[in-house]
Structure 1
Amino acid sequence: MSKIAVIGLGIMGLPMAKNLVSAGHEVTGYNRSQDKVDAFVEAGGQGAGSVAEAVSGAEVVITMVPDSPDVEGVVSGEDGVFANAPQGALWIDASTIRPDVAARLAEAAREAGIRPLDAPVSGGEQGAIDGVLSIMVGGSAEDFAAAEEVLNGVGKTIVHVGPSGSGQTVKAANQLIVASNIQVLGEAVAFLEAYGVDTDAALKVLGGGLAGSKVLDQKGQKMLDRNFDPGFRLALHHKDMGIVTSAAREANVAIPLGALVAQLVASTVNQGDGSLDHSGLFKQVLKLSGREAEDQA
């Protein structure tokens, strides 16, 4: 079993860290807010008061923070991962960030004697809790092999997809697909409701056919219940759609549907709903359909 540091104990990081404890690893967690550290300690982990303290002596460092600047902030500087983790330690960045930033930070990690992997995850909060995340990993094949035991503690589908930055590229594609699916699912639910269909029955039969998807399984009921408690916040998906639209432009790839969905996500966030689950895109569908007042009645 490994000595692991987890930096970032949020919606995804905390259950991931807990699962690593359950798998028998020695895990130290750090988060900027102390209540998250306290919750992890209650679950059997160890707490740290700084990044430097958390990574001291760690064989594996996992970062799970919101955005590219956050990752740079925790790995760089005198108190960062690169300056304080032992030589030869594995650094697994499970955050979702820009592919070019991931590649640049991977090079900086190697210069510091750290072995980098960009390993963003998909599956949402429930997937993190259940330990069944899909993990797309960029980096060297040797480092991927060394990290597999740890990754198996938090994920189910774990695939090496190429060199540094590749994991983030695949995650950008994932977020494009997920946002588009959520948007279309919301439109379908609004359509069904407008015709007075038994929506529970409708989603059941749709889920058994070609229209079935994990998005339908996990987000359909949330839309029916108008329950948008965050498993993955719209504000983060807004950030991710910025990543994919920017990366697509740089690659000269047209994503017309993705660009439209990105605007719908941005509009929902700009109206104050960034803290909602990304299934909250359904609220925008209702508003555009003139059904918002009816929904709130």
Structure 2
Amino acid sequence: MIIGFIGLGIMGLPMATNLVTAGHDVRAYNRSPREFSGTVADSAAAAVTGADVVITMLPDSPDVEAVVLGPDGVLAAAAPGTLLIDMSTIAPATARTIADAATEAGFRALDAPVSGGEQGAIDGALSIMVGGAADDFQAAKPVLDVLGSTVVHVGPAGSGQTVKAANQLIVAGTIGLVAEALTFLAAHSVDLEPAVAVLAGGLAGNRILDRKAAGMIAHHFEPGFRIDLHHKDLGIVVDSARAAGVTVPLGAVAAQLMGAARAQGHGSLDHSALLLVIEALSKR
């Protein structure tokens, strides 16, 4: 297929590269120049003109709205009938707005945010939660299967983003608890590596322990997913929960802690740097 890909960030670049490796003709655009094995376009409009599929992988709701709905955006430059797959993490309400505008313009639209971090993107092993029409999901699945090992249709437009919000709620809460556990163990002079090994083998086992604990122990916080972005995502959780009349007390605390990490200057670090906030509160 001819795929227009917009957004070559930490996640987008390996995703687009995997599509090239799979044999697709990928024409990509990024606001700042990036080296890329496919075709580099000089504008979003150039990337999507003549495309069968357009994928957007952008930081936030306003970015997606500008790229898709703007005067030189996807709906203006691509042909009606094109399949638009937004894989960014944005507000569910924005995803529905995008889908409505795309449908009115004769496009097919899916919201398909991902989980799995940079390594999942590199390995083509992302978890992809997809909202939109079932027929459009089936049309997109050959492309999505290149990018993810778990690709699931979860409901109508906006549903993918709602599931992603739940994902980010669980991940943030788990990082916070792992950070508290490591700080607690260190305060009691426990050897952290074997402690994590035994915790990971029991009911407390989770992917944060598997993927993040070693870096947290070593205080290596190279960004796989930045605190700035997780702070944005938890804002989506809190706002969406309020709109639905749902109480998320632990999520609200996680959002405050992530906001504190950002306020302390850690926004560009990996979200596992939430440990630094817990350590500071504990004067460790």
Q: TM-score range by the shorter chain?
A: over 0.9
Distance across 1 between alignment mates of 2:260 and 2:183 = 18
- 1:184 corresponds in structure 2 to 177
CA distance in 1, matches of 2:244, 2:42: 42
CA–CA separation in structure 2 for the residues paired with 1:127 and 1:137: 17
Letter in 2 for 1:222: G
Query: In 2, Cα distance between the equivalents of 1:167 and 1:32?
Result: 26
Question: What is the DSSP-based 3-state SS (H/G/I as helix, E as strand, rest coil) of the residue aligned with 1:153?
Answer: helix
2:100 is paired with a residue whose SS is helix
| Matched letter for residue 3 of structure 1 | I
Q: Which residue of 2 aligns with 1:21?
A: 20
Counterpart position of 1:152: 145
Encode CA deviations 1:53-76: one digit per residue, 9 max, x unaligned: 000110010000000000001112
Q: Shift of the alpha carbon at 1:194?
A: 1.4
Q: Which residue of the partner structure matches residue 168 of structure 2?
A: 175
Partner of 2:229: 236
Deviation at 1:77, TM superposition (A): 2.4
State whether structure 2 residue 209 is matched by structure 1 residue 216: yes
Say which is worse superposed, 25-34 or 188-197, in terms of deviation. 188-197
Residue 53 of structure 1 corresponds to which residue in structure 2?
46
TM-score (normalizing by structure 1): 0.95
Residue ranges of structure 1 left out of the alignment (5+ in a row): 292-297
The count of aligned residue pairs is: 284
Deviations 1:108-136 (A, max 9, x none): 01111111000000001111011100000
- Spell out structure 1 runs of 4+ moving beyond 3 A: none
Corresponding residue SS for 2:54: strand
Aligned position for 2:55: 62
- 2:74 maps to a residue whose letter is V
Query: Deviations 1:131-161 (Å, cap 9, x if unpaired)?
Result: 1000000000000000000001110100000
Which residue of structure 1 aligns with residue 78 of structure 2?
85
Amino acid paired to 2:4: A
1:98 aligns with 2:91: yes
Tell me the residue number matched to 2:127.
134
Question: Structure 2: how far apart are the matches of 1:140 and 1:58?
Answer: 20
SS of 1:211's equivalent in the other structure is: coil
Give the equivalent residue in structure 1 for 2:283. Answer: 290
| Whole-angstrom distance in 2 between the partners of 1:213 and 1:77 | 41
Give distance in 1, aligned partners of 2:4 and 2:214.
Answer: 36
What secondary structure, in the 3-state scheme, does the structure 2 residue paired with 1:4 have?
strand
SS in 1 for 2:254: helix
In structure 2, the partner of 1:294 is none
User: 2: CA distance between counterparts of 1:222 and 1:73?
Assistant: 36
Identity of aligned residues (%): 62
Residue 4 (structure 2) pairs with residue 11 (structure 1)? no
What is the CA distance between 1:190 and its match in structure 2? 0.8
Query: CA offset at residue 191 of structure 1?
Result: 1.1
**Is the Cα–Cα contact under 8 Å of residues 242 and 262 in structure 1 kept in the other structure?**
yes
Give the distance between the partners of 1:275 and 1:228, measured in 2 at CA: 9
Aligned mates of 1:85, 1:77 — CA distance in 2: 12
Q: Provide the residue aligned with 1:207 in structure 2.
A: 200
Counterparts of 1:159 and 1:93 in 2: how far apart (Å)? 15
Instruction: Please tell me the residue identity of whatever aligns with 2:11.
Output: M
1:260 — aligned with what?
Answer: 253
Residue identity in the other structure for 1:86 = A
* 1:139-196 deviation line (CA, Å, top 9, x unaligned): 0000000000000111010000000000000000000000000000000011111122
Aligned partners of 2:107, 2:77: CA distance in 1, in Å? Answer: 10
TM-score (structure 2 length as normaliser): 0.99
The 8 Å contact of residues 83 and 112 in structure 1, kept in 2 or not, is answered as no
Q: Take 2:116 and 2:14, find their aligned partners in 1: how far apart are those partners?
A: 12
Q: Tell me how far 1:79 sits from its aligned partner.
A: 1.1
- The amino acid of 1:30's aligned partner reads Y
Cα offset for 1:78? 2.5
